[in-house]
Chains A and B, each alone.
Chain A
Amino acid sequence: MPDQVTAEAEPEAVEAEPGENGERPAGGPGRLWWTCVVLLLVVVLGFIGLGTYSWLRQHEAATTAQRDQAILAAARGELDLMANLRHATARDSIARLQAGATGPFRQQFAGADSAFFALLDQGQVDSTGQVTEAAVQQADATSAQVLVAVSATVRNTDYPNGQARDYRSVVSLNFENGHWLVSDARVVP
């Protein structure tokens, strides 16, 4: 039994000395050391677990927010094009609208023929406007619904000074080939 434990001694060397009958006491520095080490280990593991869990939750929320921003950008972009339809550049606008559309909404623009563009030219139809607010009402991985408020001024031969119009729309979108595309834009009466 060493009188003094040195720095080079094995960990067992610091354990409490046996009592008079040879048994070791229940407490002592060795037990305290192990208790501290185990407690600290549990605390560190707990913090790592908490940090990982929190990061995963944050990551999930950030992914959802990113998805919602993409949905809003698609809906805003499509309605912005519709609010700024001008007879002189209508063919280009319709082509861009088709690029951001799918399903029945896309079909509506596919039906735009030379008679439609002639009608716009004849009426000198020009619309200028903007999306004033938009918000995701519902969304999952493949579909979404967005409320959009649009304000526009429409000029034509009947209203050469323009007529202000406010629209309320519910825009439906589908996620196809890595892009959010508008499948329907319905005016809320």
Chain B
Amino acid sequence: MRFPRARLVIPAVLLAAAVGTGVPAALLYQDAVATEAAQANRAPASAATKARLEQVLSYRFTTIDQDLTAAKADTTGEFGQQFAVAADQIIAAAARQAEITTTATVVSTAVVDAHPDEVVVLAFVNQTTTTKDKPQPATGALRLRVTLERAGGQWLISRLAQV
């Protein structure tokens, strides 16, 4: 038995159409998924910015080791390594020596840029600090550009810069 040509042409055309529509559809879908993932990251990354920043920028000389251990867990990547070194070699010693207590409060955040695995946030932070020599609270108004990366299912600080 022999198939008529028309019977081969129709599936062939449909197969070509499937490939022709499948490739752009897959690419468009991939872009849409990435865009939606980036958009979906905005709210959790903003919330994480507040929690992480307040923990990283707040410590009390009486509980400095626990505070810095918690703060280190809020950071990741190269920044995390640099912060850990600074925490162990500079911050802990300075906090004990000067009896520093500092409390940071994030007053406002807004997302500068969002990607599927990275979000950049502008944060306005108020910081109140007391020391042995200056028991009257000194206040500071910070403007920080915070980069967060998703690591182990959590949004952690991977860069921190004043703007």
Contact = CB atoms under 8 A, between A and B. Distances in A.
B4 A11 contact: yes
A189 B31 CA distance: 40
A147 B124 contact: yes
Given A40-B14, A51-B28, A166 B111 contact: no
A4 B36 CA distance: 57
A104 B3 CA distance: 80
B141 interface: yes
A48 B111 contact: no
Interface stretch (B17-25, B64-72, B83-91, B92-100): B17-25
Nearest to B123: A147
A13 interface: yes
Nearest to B24: A51
B154 interface: no
A13 B3 CA distance: 9
Interface in B1-27: 1-7, 10-11, 14-15, 17-18, 21-22, 24-26
A162 B143 CA distance: 21
Contacts of B39: 61
Contacts of B148: none
Given A54-B29, A136-B110, A170-B108, A5 B2 contact: yes
B25 A4 contact: no
Contacts of A51: 21, 24-25, 28-29
Nearest to A40: B14
A37 interface: yes
Contacts of B163: 132-133, 149
Nearest to B23: A47
Contact of A133 (B14, B18, B36, B145): B145
Interface in A20-40: 29, 33, 36-37, 40
A149 B4 contact: no
B36 A134 contact: no
B18 A43 contact: yes
Nearest to B31: A58
A115 interface: no
A149 B108 CA distance: 12
Interface of A: 4-9, 11, 13-14, 29, 33, 36-37, 40-41, 43-44, 47-48, 50-51, 53-55, 57-58, 61, 132-137, 146-147, 149, 166, 168, 170, 188-189
